[in-house]
Structure 1
């Protein structure tokens, strides 16, 4: 019996499985492009880190779009919003992030301001992508949140207290680790592209392991890997 031929993305000589696996490694784990190159080389796959970077840039957002469509409507109705500072080439930016009550990333948006207009932009993006309004909105005491919420979601309960927003603040930690591993982001465009993909991949593989038995965890992990392969190989590239 002959083996089935590998699926290929158009104009790419490597099979789609290899490209999808490289992109998964880069966004799933705190690895540099050269780390991914070495891991592939150990498996007998010779590619340069520049090629891995091109794959991540070209296919990452396509995969993230499919993951976002798949998860729409499955998040909790309690949203937590927070922002963290990111320095790119000496200029200060603010990375605005929204997570649900279970820690799943709803959206991230890099902006140069930390004011009402920036908060409005994040909330509009959230409402458009989620297709619904939250039951509760939790933020720190930045007044921009209150002003933006009053304009867009006046009927939504708003809890403004730094101590209540730990889940959103903790969601920044994986990105901080990646920022250090990448030796800072090189441009605002690169940062926005990376966080847009990173959050969706993290959602798929967030299995809340400490609350699961080993058997249940393995089952959910298998399902997540199968979902990734299905999404990655269905992308029209």
Structure 2
């Protein structure tokens, strides 16, 4: 097992299968922590919902980090948009981008919806996946200004398109994330929101077939998820 994973698991005193099952179910399905507590109880396993939450916060960063090392390449035509997320009774903004085939490129939760936030998101996505040939955004002046600022420091400029119709793809993709978040009724703090959203996005990408697997194999989404910390 990955030493980093083993170090975290050493402090979590429950069977590994139970912890991984709860963590995967939490990010994969519209279930609350109390739902998971009840579901485990039906299986003869006594675990408090707050304990499940600690597993989620401890383990999800490991899954996200591992996935980024095993994901398939993405396209160079991007669609970018942001969606609102409730954190401690305040609206924050989840920046997301997908390619023309609906493959998730990157995501980032920011406190504000402005040019610095958009620029930070694009810089993160470019650092992880390389620069796109084209980037489509909505009519937001902040997103346009962010891309223009990035282009000012590039030899080859990214082609910028502002087209709401072409951006429908990423707007539709938000729904899978929002559907899972809705039952949570908002996050209690920004750090935990980032961690949980990262886990939800990771599971979403696995379901979309974005994880590299061995040639000739066809593991289920659950098997792919668990393999990340093997």
Fold match, TM over 0.5? yes
What pairs with 1:57-136 in structure 2 (closer than 5 Å)? Answer: 57-71=57-71, 74-130=73-129, 132-136=130-134
CA distance, structure 1, for counterparts of residue 149 and residue 26 of structure 2: 39
The corresponding residue for 1:212 is: none
The corresponding residue for 2:141 is: 143
Q: So what's the TM-score if we normalise by structure 2?
A: 0.84
Aligned residues: 214
CA distance, structure 2, for counterparts of residue 146 and residue 183 of structure 1: 32
Indicate if the aligned counterparts of 1:64 and 1:200 stay in contact, CA closer than 8 A.
Answer: yes
The corresponding residue for 2:53 is: 53
CA distance, structure 1, for counterparts of residue 227 and residue 190 of structure 2: 31
Q: Which sections of structure 1, spanning at least 5 residues, go unmatched?
A: 1-6, 209-218
Q: Closer, same or farther in 2 for the Cα pair 1:178/1:229, shift >3 Å?
A: closer
Indicate if the aligned counterparts of 2:177 and 2:201 stay in contact, CA closer than 8 A.
Answer: no
The corresponding residue for 2:3 is: none
Note the C-alpha offset of 1:229: 2.2
The corresponding residue for 2:176 is: 174
Q: In structure 2, the residue corresponding to 1:102 is in which secondary structure?
A: coil
Note the C-alpha offset of 1:173: 1.3
- Structure 1 stretch 150-159 or stretch 189-198: which is displaced more? 150-159
The corresponding residue for 2:30 is: 30
Indicate if the aligned counterparts of 1:80 and 1:138 stay in contact, CA closer than 8 A.
Answer: yes
Note the C-alpha offset of 1:223: 4.1
The corresponding residue for 1:214 is: none
Name the structure with the higher helix share: 1
The corresponding residue for 1:230 is: 227
Indicate if the aligned counterparts of 1:67 and 1:200 stay in contact, CA closer than 8 A.
Answer: yes
The Cα RMSD (Å) is 2.2
